[in-house]
Chains A and B, each alone.
Chain A
Amino acid sequence: MAERGKRMVIGSADELWKGSTRRGFLKMLGIGGTIVMLPGVFEACDALQPMTAPGSTTGGSGAVQLDLSNDFGILNYAYALEQLEAAFYTAVAGSSAFSSFNAEQKEVFQDLQNHEVIHREFFKAALGSHAIGALALNTATVSASLASTATILKTAEAFEDLGVSAYNGAGKYLTDPTYLTLAGKIVSVEARHAAAIRDMRDAMGVTGGDAAGTRFAGDTVVAPSGPYAGLDVKLEPSVVLSRVAATGFVSTPVSVVNTPSKQGTPDQGPPSPTP
Chain B
Amino acid sequence: MDNTTTILGDVDPEVGQRLVSRREAIMRGATAGSSVALGLAMASAPVAFAALARDAFGQSTPATVQSVIDFALVLEIFEKEFYSAVLGVSSSSAQNAAFATVRAAAAAVPGAVAALQQIQKHEAEHVAFLTANGAKNTLNLTADSFDFTGGQGSGTGPFARATTELPFLLLVAQGAEDTGVRAYKGQAPNLQSNTVVLEAALRIHSVEARHASKIRRMRRMTGAPAVVKYSGTISGGGVAAAGADNISSPPAGAVTALNLIYAGEDNVMQGGVDVSKLPNLPSGAGTAAATEAFDEPLTRAQVVAIVQPFFKVAIS
Most B C-beta atoms less than 10 A away, residue of A118, A171, A262:
A118
Which of B23-31, B148-156, B226-234 contacts the other chain? B226-234
Q: Provide the B108-149 mask, 1 if CB < 8 A to any CB of A, else 0.
A: 000100110111011111101100100000000000000000
Which of A14-22, A45-53, A57-65, A109-117 contacts the other chain? A109-117
Which of A146-154, A188-196, A241-249 contacts the other chain? A188-196
* Contact (Cβ within 8 A) A171 B202: yes
A28 at the interface (CB under 8 A from B): no
* Nearest-CB residue, chain A, relative to B229: A111
Contacts of B308 in A (CB 8 A): none
A93 at the interface (CB under 8 A from B): yes
* Contact (Cβ within 8 A) A195 B209: yes
* Contact (Cβ within 8 A) B181 A171: no
* Contact (Cβ within 8 A) A180 B192: yes
Partner of A182, one of B118, B128, B204, B270: B270
Contacts of A218 in B (CB 8 A): 118
- Bound: A114/B294 CA distance, A: 12
Known: A112-B231, A118-B275, A230-B207. A185 touches B285 (CB 8 A): no
A157 at the interface (CB under 8 A from B): no
* Contact (Cβ within 8 A) B115 A231: no
Q: Among residues 279 to 309 in chain B, which have CB atoms less than 8 Å away from a CB atom of chain A?
A: 279-282, 284-285, 289-290, 292-297
Contacts of A7 in B (CB 8 A): none
A186 at the interface (CB under 8 A from B): yes
B199 at the interface (CB under 8 A from A): yes
* Contact (Cβ within 8 A) B282 A213: no
Which of A34-42, A121-129, A135-143, A251-259 contacts the other chain? A121-129
B46 at the interface (CB under 8 A from A): no
* Nearest-CB residue, chain A, relative to B217: A199
Contacts of B117 in A (CB 8 A): 214
Known: A180-B188, A185-B294. A118 touches B285 (CB 8 A): yes
* Nearest-CB residue, chain A, relative to B201: A171
Q: Smallest Cβ distance from B219 to chain A, in angstroms? A: 13
Contacts of B295 in A (CB 8 A): 184-185, 188-189, 192
Known: A191-B206, A228-B129. A172 touches B271 (CB 8 A): no
Q: Provide the A153-191 mask, 1 if CB < 8 A to any CB of B, else 0.
A: 000000000001001110110010110111011111111
- Bound: A216/B211 CA distance, A: 8
* Nearest-CB residue, chain A, relative to B111: A213
Partner of B210, one of A172, A216, A234: A216
* Contact (Cβ within 8 A) A193 B232: yes
* Contact (Cβ within 8 A) B289 A115: yes
* Contact (Cβ within 8 A) A217 B214: yes
Contacts of B289 in A (CB 8 A): 111, 114-115, 118
Q: Smallest Cβ distance from A212 to chain B, in angstroms? A: 7
* Contact (Cβ within 8 A) B195 A192: no
Chain B interface bracket (under 10, 10 to 19, 20 to 34, 35 or more): 35 or more
Partner of A181, one of B181, B189, B198, B279: B189
* Contact (Cβ within 8 A) A217 B119: yes
Q: Smallest Cβ distance from A160 to chain B, in angstroms? A: 10
* Contact (Cβ within 8 A) A185 B296: yes
Partner of B199, one of A107, A111, A188, A265: A265
Contacts of B278 in A (CB 8 A): 118, 121-122, 125
Partner of A216, one of B115, B125, B208: B115
* Nearest-CB residue, chain A, relative to B6: A227
* Nearest-CB residue, chain A, relative to B113: A213
Partner of B189, one of A107, A180, A216, A217: A180
* Contact (Cβ within 8 A) B115 A229: no
Contacts of A104 in B (CB 8 A): 230
B43 at the interface (CB under 8 A from A): no
* Contact (Cβ within 8 A) B292 A232: no
Known: A177-B192, A232-B203. A217 touches B233 (CB 8 A): no
A263 at the interface (CB under 8 A from B): yes
A90 at the interface (CB under 8 A from B): yes
B22 at the interface (CB under 8 A from A): no
- Bound: A267/B208 CA distance, A: 19
A-B contact list, 25 entries, CB within 8 Å: A93-B282, A108-B230, A108-B231, A113-B285, A114-B281, A117-B280, A118-B281, A122-B270, A125-B273, A125-B278, A167-B202, A181-B185, A182-B270, A184-B205, A189-B209, A189-B295, A190-B206, A191-B209, A195-B232, A196-B217, A199-B214, A216-B211, A228-B203, A264-B196, A265-B7
Residues of B within 8 A of A (CB): 7, 10, 111, 114-115, 117-119, 121-126, 128-129, 132, 181, 185, 188-189, 192, 195-196, 198-200, 202-214, 217, 229-233, 270-271, 273, 275, 278-282, 284-285, 289-290, 292-297
> 7 shortest A-B CB distances, which residue pairs?
A230-B125, A213-B114, A191-B209, A177-B189, A114-B289, A192-B213, A111-B231
**What 13 additional pairs, Cβ within 8 angstroms, besides A108-B229, A180-B188, A211-B118?**
A93-B282, A111-B233, A115-B231, A121-B275, A126-B270, A172-B199, A184-B205, A186-B293, A191-B209, A214-B114, A216-B211, A230-B125, A265-B196
